[in-house]
Structure 1
Amino acid sequence: MTLIEQTWRVPADHPAFAGHFPGHPIVPGVVLLDRVVQMAQQLRGGSSEGWQVTQVKFLSPCGPDDELFFSLRDGVRGGVVFSVHCGDREVASGGLLPPAP
Structure 2
Amino acid sequence: MRETMMSKLTLRFPADHPTGAGHFPGNPIIPGALLLAEVLRCIERAEGASFVSCNVKNAKFLAPARPGDTVEIEHTRTAKGTIEFTCTVAGNKVLTGAVVANV
Which category of TM-score, normalised to the shorter sequence, fits these structures?
0.7 to 0.9
% identical equivalent positions: 32
**Structure 1 residues 54, 15: CA separation in 2 closer, same or farther (over 3 Å shift)?**
same
Residue number among 4, 11, 23 corresponding to 2:26 in the alignment? 23
Where does the alignment leave 5 or more consecutive residues of structure 2 unmatched?
none
Question: What corresponds to 1:53 in structure 2?
Answer: 56
Q: Counterparts of 2:82 and 2:48 in 1: how far apart (Å)? A: 9
- Provide TM-score, normalisation by structure 2: 0.83
C-alpha RMSD of the superposition: 1.7
Q: TM-score, normalised by structure 1?
A: 0.84
- List runs of 5+ in structure 1 lacking aligned partners: none
Q: Report how many residues are paired.
A: 99
Contact 1:37 1:51 in 2 (8 A): no
Q: Which contiguous aligned blocks of 4+ residues in structure 1 show a shift greater than 3 angstroms?
A: none
Tell me, in whole angstroms, the C-alpha distance in 2 between the residues paired with 1:8 and 1:41.
13
Q: In the alignment, is the contact (CA less than 8 A) between 2:53 and 2:102 conserved in 1?
A: yes
